[in-house]
Chains A and B, each alone.
Chain A
Amino acid sequence: MARGLDRQRHILDFTLAALLRRKGKTGALVAVYTLVVFLLASALFFGHALRREAELVLKDAPEITVQRSLTGRYAPIPKEYAGAIGEIRGVSSARPRLWGYYYDANSRANYTLVVPAENQPDPGTIVIGSGIATLRDANPGDQIGFTGYDGAAQSYRVARVLPEGAGLVSADLILISERDYRALSGIPDGEATDLVLTVHNAKEFATVAEKIRQRFPDTRPIVRDEILRTYDALFNWRGGVVAVLSGMAGLAFVIFAWDKATGLSAEERKEIGVLKAVGWETSDILAMKFWEGIAVSFTAFLLGVTLGYLHVFWGGSFLFAPVLKGWSTLYPNFRLIPAVDFGELGAILFLVVVPYSVSTIVPSWRAATIDPDAVLR
């Protein structure tokens, strides 16, 4: 047993020394390998973090949102609906909400306008997210101008800038008073953007939603869990696309690895021949090739995953941010909350290490079965 361990240790030592002796070749292999792992890890970490972000946002989201829908299009909902819906059994409260988006043509960015339920800003003032503050170069006390639904210019004083760190969610946020909101959006008194319900018993979500649909056929209740599922499908799909792309990169890499491993240089063939001639057996060479694969894979995996982590959680995913989030100018350097999951690491392992190993088995075996008497001549 101890002999077996010492044997493996010797072979490992020899393998590492051999890899270091061929710095150029090893370096190229590790570099390409790392790049593939890095791309894949970045994509997966990014998708996962976005999903987490969405989950966090939705955690505080209302259990059921009711929108009004006329001929399949969104429409503001009359406030009276709130009272009637609030009486449905299972619904503990129903509250109208005012919010919307504002497209700023100058900076070509979308802002989210929200009238908070509590602590509304005083009329004439707004609270803005850090993204907007940077984009419009606005500080507390400054005036910011907007164009209302009727084309009239509106101007508000910045009361406060929301702290950074809340990430994606608050960067584009504008908190506004109800009066200003109505002036800007043109939604008349007595109507709201949508209604939010609190329903305590999760089992009743579906029943409540059904009852609302029956009683108010022009409404569309949206259950939170459904949104979560939609988000999930979306992120997974995007993650999947990136994975497919990286898979292609991986394939190219496998071909590269195959080429590297099959195209044993004359020097290496000679070396393996010598090893066999002086008393190494086929399985010793296979063990050596195994350690070689482990060393290369482990290094590349560790490097790639670390770089991917830094890229996503420190570097603002500068490589993918544009692709995955839509070209929003508002999030130049947001920080995602670090979140890594074992499944993700396993997926990377399987997407990269397994193809690499499988593609090197046969070449390694070829190398290992070189005739020991080949070096006699």
Chain B
Amino acid sequence: MILHPALLALEISALLCATMVVYAACFGMGIVRYWNLASGSETQLVLERQTYLVSTVLSYFLAFQLVSLFLFIRTADSICHLFVGAMCAVGTLTVNAFGYPTLALKLVNFLLAGLWLILNHADSRGYDYPLIRVKYLLLALVAPFFALEAGLQTLFFLNLDPDIITSCCGALFSPASRNLATEVVNAPPLPMLGILYGSGVLLLLAGGAFLRRGIGGYLFGGANLVHLAVALAAVVSVVSPYLYELPSHHCPFCILDPEYYFFGYPLYLSLLIAAVTGMGVGLLQPFRKVASLAETLPALQRRLVRISLGAQAVFLILCTLPVLFSALSLR
């Protein structure tokens, strides 16, 4: 264990947040069990009030999760020189087996929290709490992931041993070691760029179809999930080398550094917003037939599609900038 202030900060807040969310999920279970809208009893009033508490907790959690995602990477980056062989966040994350799972879970949990809040928002538009059971059952399903993240992060920090010789991003992504990461990285850059734009265009078409004719909500949601994976792969394989102007430097974390004008922050932020809102459209699709939502849900979905496409456009433009202006050519 390394007593680094940022590690302490991340750990304390992760434990606090996990506790809060589990607490909120427990309330949620009470709501699922005793909910009876027809009753004017005081128990029912109390339950209705608790719904506000749960959604407040989740909104705070979402905000903290976003900051924590970036702070986690930033911290991994800034403590890397404690480990022999590490040169950026990649090295720190590979010190033990918990680094990458923690990061992945942080990302997943951000998406889950965002999706839950979208569902919650939709529910609050209906005068009879139409999604109340769905929403709290879902919360009970995702809350363990939030707790798991805090657990994995704790294990990761506890097992950060400065004597371990780790590898830097160069070694991790070098063609000599064959794993998924290398496959992604060594994907031919131009086709990869083509796939990125292609999938972006498909999203645009799906979104357009939804906006015009109100069809294909599931398609748009699913496409956003696939596109998220494509986009992350493209950042690693094409965008990073162009930005670093080094054909073999593929690190997805160094782009967050001041040397690269914090380019990674708007890049990832726009992608995350696009992904959450886009997937939210698909999540809401099955509830369009609910009577009390029939009026508001399509409008909400359309708004989500617009936000998603807007953020996606920002992301694609940001991806294009380094390719256009880089001194490097991968052709």
Contact = CB atoms under 8 A, between A and B. Distances in A.
A351 B9 contact: yes
Contact of B20 (A237, A349, A361): A361
B74 interface: yes
Contacts, number: 117
Give the interface SS of chain A, mostly helix, strand, loop or mixed. helix
Given A283-B52, A358-B60, A365-B53, A342 B81 contact: no
Contacts of A350: 6, 9-10, 12-13, 64, 67-68, 71
Given A361-B57, A365-B52, A343 B12 contact: no
Interface residues of A, number: 41
Contact of B71 (A242, A346, A369): A346
Interface in B59-105: 60, 64, 67-68, 70-71, 74-75, 77-79, 81-82, 84
A237 B3 contact: yes
Contact of A351 (B3, B5, B68, B74): B5
A144 to B, nearest CB: 40
Chain A CB count within 10 A is highest, among B52, B56, B74, for: B56
B82 A346 contact: no
Contacts of A236: 2-5, 79, 82
A199 interface: no
A286 to B, nearest CB: 6
Contacts of B68: 350
A189 to B, nearest CB: 39
B68 to A, nearest CB: 7
Nearest to B4: A236
Contacts of A242: 5
B267 to A, nearest CB: 16
A240 B20 contact: no
Nearest to B258: A342
Contacts of B60: 357-358, 361
Contact of A240 (B3, B53, B75): B3
B108 interface: no
B158 to A, nearest CB: 14
B178 interface: no
A362 interface: yes
B17 A358 contact: yes
B5 A346 contact: no
Contacts of A361: 20, 53, 56-57, 60
B49 interface: yes
A347 B71 contact: yes
A346 B74 contact: yes
B130 interface: no
A247 interface: yes
A229 B82 contact: yes
Contacts of A368: 52
Nearest to A362: B53
A369 B16 CA distance: 23
B4 A354 contact: no
Contacts of B12: 247, 350-351, 354-355
Interface string B13-45: 100110010000000000000000000000000
B317 interface: no
A336 to B, nearest CB: 17
B45 to A, nearest CB: 9
A125 interface: no
Chain B CB count within 10 A is highest, among A247, A286, A350, A368, for: A350
6 contacts: A228-B81, A233-B2, A242-B5, A350-B6, A351-B5, A364-B56
Given A239-B4, A243-B3, 9 more contacts: A229-B81, A233-B82, A346-B9, A347-B9, A349-B9, A351-B12, A357-B60, A358-B20, A361-B20
